[in-house]
Structure 1
Amino acid sequence: MIALLTMSPLVAKGDIVICSWNIQNLGWNNDKRFDKVAHVANHCDFLAIQELMNEAALERLEQKIETTSGEAWSSMASHALGRSTYREHYAFLWRDSAVEYDSGAVVFIDHRDAFAREPYSAQFLSRRTGQAFAAATVHITYGSSIGERLPEIEALADYWQWLEEVYPGTPRLLLGDFNLRPQHAGWAPLRELGAIPAITEGATTLGLTDGHYANLYDNIWKVSGTIDVSERGIVRFPELFGIGHERARDVVSDHAPVFITLGSATLAPTPLNGGTYRPTGTASSCVDLNTASAERLTALPHVGPARAAAIVEMRPWEASDDLTRISGLNHARLAEIQESALLCE
């Protein structure tokens, strides 16, 4: 099972499963288990990929997923993007029986130079219903602080309007690793344009402790009322294989994929090798200093009931660095809290 939210039928149906996944450094010589990546990807009909390091890796994944599924797949990738010697590609991978490429594959021409890795987009069609959709994908630069991520997040508002001009009348989906939780105030410019996140609960980055997911960074943004989203959720893939997070991060990815289903489509997770898939639960999501209950705050190192009450009383918190305002939380203890991977960033 997977955690799902259901919406009333809207305007456009697609009857396909659309996913987004940061597949950590796909293509580096890092012992990546392409068979496991393909097993997870085969739950999708369409997949936007971030952190593709070379196009040969995409070809290898496409071949592996065709073997896994027994079906034909297609793919496309952007050129390498980045401001330094470190560069990434974006990619789209899709099941030929469900999706076809329509037109307009393009890397955003970023005249303002707002993005370190300019977003990549194209228009596709659902073969099952004929529904068109424009898919755009981006990987926001992590940097050393949230403040360094915000200029790119704010620039997504202009990009969202640009997508409307490039794909007029077509439902838009913005898929990616945003390195920012959807509740952050930095999303205000995009929200003002009517965009909403599909995933608002749970977390997508794998913590170091098995079963713990630290941050909700990955998402799919859309405009309410333009496309029939029937289900949405996070695929906690380590449980599909019955492996721990350390192993999962080493051979698959440190991010879990997110998905939406259109129309009557559904995503049914298929465990392998004795894996037992459990519903996504809030107990494994990150601790938000501004919204977590006092009881939930006590999950943090060095935070007991008294300090939890003080955290609640002193809201709002701009950054976890400010926790040193709490009596007894010196810089050494703050470092342990931040290194625990329990905090939402």
Structure 2
Amino acid sequence: MTPLVAWGDIVIGSWNIQNLGWNNDKRYDKVAHVAGHFDFLAIQELMNEAALERLEQEVEAATGEAWSSMASHALGRSTYREHYAFLWRDSAVEYDSGAVVFIDHRDAFAREPFSAKFRSRRTGQEFAAATVHITYGGSIGERLPEIEALADYWQWLEEVYPETPRLLLGDFNLRPEHQGWEPLLSLGAVPAITTGATTLGLTDGRYANLYDNLWKQPGELGVTDRGILRFPDLFGIGHERARDVISDHAPVYLALGSATLELTAFDGGSVDHAEGTSWCIDLNQSSIEALTELPHVGPARASQIVEARPWASPAELVRVGGLGQSRVQDIKASGLLCE
């Protein structure tokens, strides 16, 4: 009798969290809300390890569960350097062994990939996760040497983690149908995401460039679902605001076995994949925190708005210090205010 395969029963994600750790008004609570949708998350564009510690604390607060994380050292050829990281839910995933930054003797990568072996606590399924952020450069041609080097790296992963399913997760800055992927495809690796796009366009609801992906071996891990988590819908905010305080990339994911990804709006309610949310900001009812979602409105101006209630119309916001006609027009044009 053929033994039953114990698939992982976990959701695995990959996310470029734009410059996580810089002093850039990042909303860690919202980043954590998105991250909490996954059991395991590979992170690119981590700028310092303190930011990962903060994110881990925020996601624990958001989910009420214990989480763990690990990060690579800073990687890069210039003064601009990034870390890679893995973040996981302790009840679902555990670290096994072999956390290592690739020893790149050919110096093919500006930021060498980072990998480790993990195990699903739910089923015992093991997997090797590797993450990379391909240098964007000035043209597609400048990205291809790193893309081509991923074929050798894929084989190296097999040697380092023998008889273990492999996942290569990251921001590749190249669409999966580009011919530059031929060396990796020839080794049997396939992209999990082949349709859609992952970078937030400047127009709300529009996405461009399927650069983020998860490469895997066909038939491994028992993938039952895959997709792109278009997170602005979780918060009812436009792309400009989402890019400013969360990220300009949407995460990609795989669900294994019986696991499912259920979208949850920021206020705790469920949100439908297609319908999104009717969330809006009410000048007379919304909290100070919610008011800070408006363009040009920080905590101080949000407090002034609350103190000056009631408001008859958004045009009256010129009474708030620093909000002139043009800035009030930006607020009205944001689409965030309730009608």
> What TM bracket, shorter-length normalisation?
0.7 to 0.9
Question: Is residue 18 from structure 1 mapped to residue 18 from structure 2 by the alignment?
Answer: no
Given candidates 274, 280, 301, the residue that maps to 1:279 is 274
Q: How far apart, CA to CA, are the structure 2 residues paired with 1:13 and 1:277? A: 27
Q: How far apart, CA to CA, are the structure 2 residues paired with 1:277 and 1:240? A: 10
Q: How far apart, CA to CA, are the structure 1 residues paired with 2:272 and 2:82? A: 32
Asked whether the equivalents of residues 11 and 259 of structure 2 are also in contact (C-alpha less than 8 Å), the reply is: yes
Given candidates 23, 29, 34, the residue that maps to 2:23 is 29
Question: Is residue 251 from structure 1 mapped to residue 245 from structure 2 by the alignment?
Answer: yes
Show CA shifts across 1:101-142 (max 9, x none). Answer: 000000000000000000000000000000000000000000
Amino acid at match of 1:279: A
RMSD: 1.4
Given candidates 219, 222, 232, the residue that maps to 1:225 is 219
Question: Is residue 165 from structure 1 mapped to residue 159 from structure 2 by the alignment?
Answer: yes
What pairs with 1:69-80 in structure 2 (closer than 5 Å)? 69-80=63-74
Show CA shifts across 1:291-331 (max 9, x none). Answer: xxxxxxxxxxxxxxxxxxxxxxxxxxxxxxxxxxxxxxxxx
Asked whether the equivalents of residues 239 and 275 of structure 1 are also in contact (C-alpha less than 8 Å), the reply is: no
Partner of residue 125, structure 1:
119
- Deviation for aligned residue 1:11: 5.5
Q: Compared with structure 1, are the counterparts of its residues 101 and 131 closer, same or farther at alpha carbon in structure 2 (3 Å cutoff)?
A: same
Instruction: Spell out structure 1 runs of 4+ moving beyond 4 A.
Output: 273-277
Q: How far apart, CA to CA, are the structure 1 residues paired with 2:122 and 2:213? A: 24
Show CA shifts across 1:196-231 (max 9, x none). Answer: 000001000000000000110000000102220000
Q: How far apart, CA to CA, are the structure 1 residues paired with 2:126 and 2:270? A: 36
What pairs with 1:164-313 in structure 2 (closer than 5 Å)? 164-272=158-266, 277-279=272-274
Q: How far apart, CA to CA, are the structure 1 residues paired with 2:135 and 2:46? A: 15
Partner of residue 61, structure 1:
55
The count of corresponding residues between Structure 1 and Structure 2 is 271
- Deviation for aligned residue 1:276: 5.3
Q: How far apart, CA to CA, are the structure 1 residues paired with 2:206 and 2:5? A: 37
Partner of residue 42, structure 2:
48
Asked whether the equivalents of residues 25 and 244 of structure 2 are also in contact (C-alpha less than 8 Å), the reply is: yes
Asked whether the equivalents of residues 138 and 177 of structure 1 are also in contact (C-alpha less than 8 Å), the reply is: yes
Q: Secondary structure at the residue paired with 2:51?
A: helix
Unaligned runs of 5+ in 1: 1-9, 281-345
Amino acid at match of 1:147: G
Asked whether the equivalents of residues 264 and 271 of structure 2 are also in contact (C-alpha less than 8 Å), the reply is: no
TM-score by length of 1: 0.77
Amino acid at match of 2:11: V
Q: How much identity, in percent, do the aligned residues show?
A: 82
Asked whether the equivalents of residues 263 and 271 of structure 2 are also in contact (C-alpha less than 8 Å), the reply is: no
Larger-Rg structure: 2
- Quick one: higher RCO (CA 8 Å, sep 6+), 1 or 2? 1
Partner of residue 108, structure 2:
114
- Deviation for aligned residue 1:271: 1.5
Show CA shifts across 1:132-168 (max 9, x none). Answer: 0000000000001100000000000000000000000
TM-score by length of 2: 0.78
Given candidates 64, 71, 78, the residue that maps to 1:84 is 78
Q: Secondary structure at the residue paired with 1:190?
A: helix
